[in-house]
Amino acid sequence: MRFVRYVRQGQWATVFGYLLFIALMAAGYYYNVTFVQLGLIDLGVRLVGMTRVQVSMWMAALALLTFVTAVVVGIAMDRRGWSSDLRTKLRLLFGVVVVQFVLTAVAPSIHSVPAFGAWIIVGSISLGVGFPVSFSLAIDLIPVPDRGYVAAVITSVAYFAANAYPLEWSVDVFSRLLTIAMIPGIVVLAVLVSERIGVLDGVLDSLSEQHEQFGRGRFCHPTPVRTRSLALWSPVVLMFGVFFIDSLGFLRIIETPSLVLSSWQSPVYSTRLAIALVHVVGALMAGVLYVNFDRNALFLWVFALFSLTYVLYTTDLRVASLFPGLVSNDTAILNPLLYALTVSFYTTLNFALWPDLSTAETVGTHSAIGIGMAGWLATFLSTAVSLFLEDANVGLLSHLNLVNALALLLFVGLIVTLYGTRLVRYAREAESG
Amino acid sequence: MSLAETLPLLVLVLLLLAGSGVSPSSMEVVFEGDRVVDETPDAFVVAGGNVTVPADAVVQGQLFVIGGDTRIDGRVDGNVRVFAGTLSVSDTATITGELQAVAGNLSVAPGADIGRRTTVDVTRQERTPLATVGIVVMQMVLLGGVAAVLTRRIPHYLATVGDAITGHPVVSGVVGSIAGTTMLVVFVYMAFTLLLLPLSIVGLFVEVLLVGYGYLAYGYLLGQRLPVERDDVASALGVAGFLLCMELLGRVPYVGALIQLSLLLVGLGAVLITYFGVHRFEPPEIPG
């Protein structure tokens, strides 16, 4: 691991870069999985008084606007050279965090549809700016061989905090906690971008030059990945599938009290702690796999684990519907643990993948496409679909069956595609003698 | 009783029925509520609730108790088996077949007329030191013999797996743990479908073989470090030494079991990432 070498050599600026990146990304991801994904539904339904379908429409709009903003900002970053300008990126990020802070603080006082709409528009724009900017920091701060491990640490920290610390899933609770938690982040970023502390300025100078060494991602050798190439769009499509499956299933699971109260919202602390620990173990495993295998191996594992997880969920539901007398309050924890493992796997992959498919010249665009389309658009579209299905009275078993079918389809599809690609390659080699 | 506890017993009952030629479709299962039984299909399973065979009833077929409370006052023309739950057989009861108690609570009144009564003791018997030594020696001979044969015929396979164990223990451990756990869950759930039960048994057997292959690789590694000229003999001795170490580790509480498990998972992962030793594992070069 390069990190150990930097510590031994006393390269403290680089070490600081690692810590800064991990802190920013973990905090940002925690904010998204709690406040944005869970808090927004509560805000729209409970405080504003909209129906679930109406909220789902607004969320789809949020997704689309975020995606468009991210792509515009990403392209602008690359064209204007901001992608390789650390100070500009930190200034942009500081602005995003300040806007998010205000939005978070005012969220519980929103009680009308126009105010909710305005909140969504401002939130989308700030999130759209935030994604390409934050992900592109990887080319300045994290050396390529360590990106898998760093991604694993970010995932571990974010999910451990989200699961181990008991919070009620309401916008008021999220708002209170996150406004307090964001203050240190704002202070640190303000100090960094102010350029008034000489030592920190020197550190930033040093970090600003690192993109020359760290800028070219793992999958950009020997030739960089082009934006209009299968090398970029295949992972985008696969990651879109992963996020879509996850969100489509999870949103329904958390609406089912018997499932969520025995796992993520369990009053028993050891249950939540077990889930949090499995997230950590899963992320570290994914980090090791990312570094030591081809990225497709990790995609295969993600789809296989998702398929297996939903097979277990649907099997339990089928048995319970066949033999209602067998249903007890002690729901098995195996399913949420497997779910947590899978989520950690793909989240780790997501953090490392986009910078590794980019160079310093393309990281803005590629991160925006990757995160905006695969992550953001997929999550919120599936959230909208999930809420729509629930509103259409589609049963839990049918809903999870659909998710399971999608996971199995992607798993089998990926295997067939990989095998087919290899087959064509071998056939061409045989032809050419 | 939870779903997870009841399902395996239900699978066991289905297997017994299939073994005795009775179709599972003719089985009736009670999960809850009060039930008086005066006639039964070919098989009747009590998984929960309160079930009574009244004094004037004559029921024909097999009765399985895997949960709940059952009371027999009348006549059962067939076998009765108790796997869990409670069964009370009163003075007026008659069971023409076998009353078999495996687990659960059973009380039989002195006046009850039982055709044959058996008890299956499933409590774990403590092995004598001699038996323990015997089993370990048997494993040493068996696996040592296999190691010797493989070392003679395909030494490079064991060497490749061994290289992965020593050169890439973390990767091997990660792959071993994720693959081992996934396979275990898949095979257990396959068993619940009954249709895939044979495949499940084969799968579990293969998983055990993979672990065994990993053990052979450890033995090969140990053998290479022994001052023995012949490679096959060295491997056999290495396997014997490795098994002895694992046995001794098993006697150390917690830490010993943890090390045992880690070695097992690393071995399993090394077998998988080297495709059974056919392909040397090389992590990709990450530039930068």
Q: Is the pLDDT of residue B220 over 60?
A: yes
Mean pLDDT across the stretch A246-269?
82
- Which chain A residue has its CA at the smallest distance from B3's CA? A326
Q: Is the distance from CB of A28 to CB of A90 less than 8 angstroms? A: no
Q: Is the pLDDT of residue A244 over 80?
A: yes
Of A145, A319, A328, nearest to B286 by CB-CB distance is A145
Q: Is the distance from CB of A248 to CB of A178 less than 8 angstroms? A: no
Of B2, B186, B284, nearest to A294 by CB-CB distance is B284
A433 band by pLDDT with thresholds 50, 70 and 90: low
B257 band by pLDDT with thresholds 50, 70 and 90: very high
- Write out chain A residues lying below 8 Å of B171, CB-based: 288-289, 292
- Span B184-215, pLDDT tens digits: 888 888 877 767 878 888 999 999 999 999 99
Tell me the count of A-B CB pairs closer than 8 A. 75
Question: CA nearest B276: which of B187, B158, B195, B113?
Answer: B158
More confident residue, B239 or B21: B239
- B174 contacts chain A (CB < 8 A): yes
- Span A295-319, pLDDT tens digits: 888 888 888 888 888 888 887 777 7
Task: Tell me B275's DSSP state.
Answer: T
How close is the nearest chain B Cα to the Cα of A60, in Å?
35
Q: A292 vs B168: CB contact, 8 Å cut-off?
A: yes
- Which chain A residue has its CA at the smallest distance from B181's CA? A338
Q: Is the pLDDT of residue B227 over 80?
A: yes
- Span A6-40, pLDDT tens digits: 999 999 999 999 999 999 999 999 988 887 777 88
Question: CA nearest A366: which of A190, A214, A235?
Answer: A235
pLDDT at B124: 64
How close is the nearest chain A Cα to the Cα of B14, in Å?
15
Q: Which of A323, A341, A353 best tests the B interface by mutation, with the highest count of B CBs <10 A? A: A323
Q: B168 vs A305: CB contact, 8 Å cut-off?
A: no
Q: A325 vs B47: CB contact, 8 Å cut-off?
A: yes
Mean pLDDT across the stretch B275-283?
90
Query: What is the 3 state secondary structure string of A41-108?
Result: HHHHHHHHCCCHHHHHHHHHHHHHHHHHHHHHHHHHHHHHCHHHCHHHHHHHHHHHHHHHHHHHHHHH
Could you give the angle at the alpha carbon of A322 between the alpha carbons of A317 and A325, nearest 5°?
A: 90
More confident residue, A110 or A53: A110
- B182 contacts chain A (CB < 8 A): yes
Q: Is the pLDDT of residue A329 over 60?
A: no
Distance CA A240, CA A417 (A): 17
Distance CA B36, CA A135 (A): 68
Q: Which of A288, A295, A309, A317 best tests the B interface by mutation, with the highest count of B CBs <10 A? A: A288
Highest mean pLDDT among A250-264, B22-36, B140-154: B140-154
Mean pLDDT across the stretch A392-420?
85
A291-309 as b/e, with b when 16 or more CB fall inside 10 Å? bbbebbebbbbbbbbbbbb
pTM of the model as a whole: 0.83
Task: Tell me B103's DSSP state.
Answer: S
Q: Tell me how far apart the terminal alpha carbons of chain B are, to the nearest angstrom.
A: 57
pLDDT at B1: 58
Q: Is the pLDDT of residue B12 over 80?
A: no
Task: Tell me A209's DSSP state.
Answer: T
- Span A166-189, pLDDT tens digits: 677 788 888 888 899 899 999 999
- Write out chain A residues lying below 8 Å of B189, CB-based: 311-312, 315
How close is the nearest chain A Cα to the Cα of B22, in Å?
21
Q: B288 vs A145: CB contact, 8 Å cut-off?
A: yes
Chain B stretch 75-134, residues whose beta carbon is closer than 8 A to a beta carbon of chain A: none
pLDDT at A335: 87
Close Cβ partners of B69 (under 8 Å, ≥ 6 residues apart): B49, B50, B51, B85, B86, B88
A68 band by pLDDT with thresholds 50, 70 and 90: very high
- Span B92-140, pLDDT tens digits: 999 998 999 888 889 999 989 998 888 877 666 677 888 888 988 999 9
